[in-house]
Amino acid sequence: MEETEDPTPRDAERPWMEELREAVAQAVVGMDDELGAALVAILAQGHCLLEGPPGVAKTLLVRSIAAALGGEYSRVQFTPDLMPSDLTGTGVYRPDTGRFEFRPGPIFANVVLCDEINRAPAKTQAALLEAMQEGAVTVDGERHPLPRPFLVFATQNPIEHEGTYPLPEAQLDRFLFKVLVGYPDAELEARLLSEVHARRATASPQELGVRAVCDPARLEELSAQASAVQVREDLPAYVVRLLRATREHASLQMGASPRAGVMLLRAAKAFALSESRDYVTPDDLKRAFLPALRHRVLLEPAEEIEGGSTDTVLRSILDSVEVPR
């Protein structure tokens, strides 16, 4: 019997990416760039922060991705009175045994949507930070591992909106990507209105036709393949030059950390796999640079007052740092 070769990225991963895009498109109109960034974050086993004004379908996008991925999904609405136990779970006393029994909270899912994350208090943010960093939560001194894979998608309104607060830098640093979700262009918005106005307001992604095209075990396999993508010997030095440029730029109060470089390489490897390649190119690093670093650097107040932006500074760094051939 003739032996068959292991599936290559072109044979195995590309159809999955296309299937997932098609599944999400049953509920979400447009948002190709945002969906692409979310899929890369998923392949890299990273968490993703979506920032944009209300009403641009951030929550619907995440719900549709979760429905297409399969596995367990939960949504937590972050509010100023949300307590850590509302997220992680708590111990409940059982009179029949005379002991406390742990009841898991909504954080125990494969995909967790933290809606309007920048409205919750610091204690709850700290509990979420532990989950994102450690893949586990600690309740009453006992450590409880979270399911695998474990992916956090968080949405937030821009911080100038009423009732919002900037997230701590340490927590922002745990997100692989920060994706900006803006208003659609006129043509896409007209198509959106024509397709969506007849929908039932409370229709779920499944009711809109989104079907599961994956499961947790398959997602773990894909993530392992992304992790195995090769990185050329000269690319880490290129990443270091980019990081050092952020630390030395006059418009940035705080530059990117070594963790940012690790995250950037992980994201670039996932971009390569999404393009059916088993090696990283400088273009993969460039594509990942803005979403991976825009939340890890701080703009100088004077630059912000003058209308500057983090993205503008990062683009100038990309243009000025020499690219390996």
Q: Which residues neighbour 315 within 8 Å (Cβ) at sequence distance 6 or greater?
A: 290
The 10s digit of each residue's pLDDT in 130-171 is 999 999 999 888 899 999 999 999 999 876 566 667 788 888
Q: What is the 8-class DSSP label of residue 230?
A: B
- Which of the four pLDDT bands, split at 50, 70 and 90, describes residue 24? very high
Percent of the chain with pLDDT over 90: 69
* Mean pLDDT (the chain, rounded): 89
Q: Identify the CA nearest to 67 among candidates 226, 208, 270.
A: 208
Q: Say what the pLDDT of residue 264 is.
A: 97
The 10s digit of each residue's pLDDT in 170-221 is 888 999 999 999 999 999 999 999 988 888 888 899 999 999 999 999 999 9
Q: Identify the CA nearest to 151 among candidates 256, 226, 85, 70.
A: 70
Sketch the domain layout of the chain as residue ranges: 9-220, 229-325
At the topology level of CATH, where does 229-325 sit?
Helicase, Ruva Protein; domain 3 (1.10.8)
The 10s digit of each residue's pLDDT in 250-276 is 999 999 999 999 999 999 999 999 988
The H or E element containing residue 60 is helix 58-69
Between 77-86, 119-128, 175-184, the lowest mean confidence (pLDDT) is in 119-128
Q: Identify the CA nearest to 41 among candidates 136, 121, 132.
A: 132
Q: Does 9-220 carry CATH code 1.10.3720.10?
A: no
Q: Say what the pLDDT of residue 25 is.
A: 92
Q: Tokens for 225?
A: 């393949």
Q: Are 39 and 17 in contact (CB under 8 A)?
A: yes
Residue 247 has pLDDT above 80, yes or no: yes
Residue 7 has pLDDT above 70, yes or no: no
- Which of the four pLDDT bands, split at 50, 70 and 90, describes residue 303? confident
Q: Could you give the CA distance from residue 280 to residue 221 in angstroms, rounded to a whole number?
A: 19
Q: Could you give the CA distance from residue 138 to residue 220 in angstroms, rounded to a whole number?
A: 24
3-state helix, strand, coil in the chain (%, to 5): 45, 15, 40
Residue 284 has pLDDT above 50, yes or no: yes
Q: Are 62 and 103 in contact (CB under 8 A)?
A: no
pTM attached to this predicted model: 0.89
Q: Say what the pLDDT of residue 161 is.
A: 60
Indicate if 229-325 has the same CATH topology as 9-220.
no
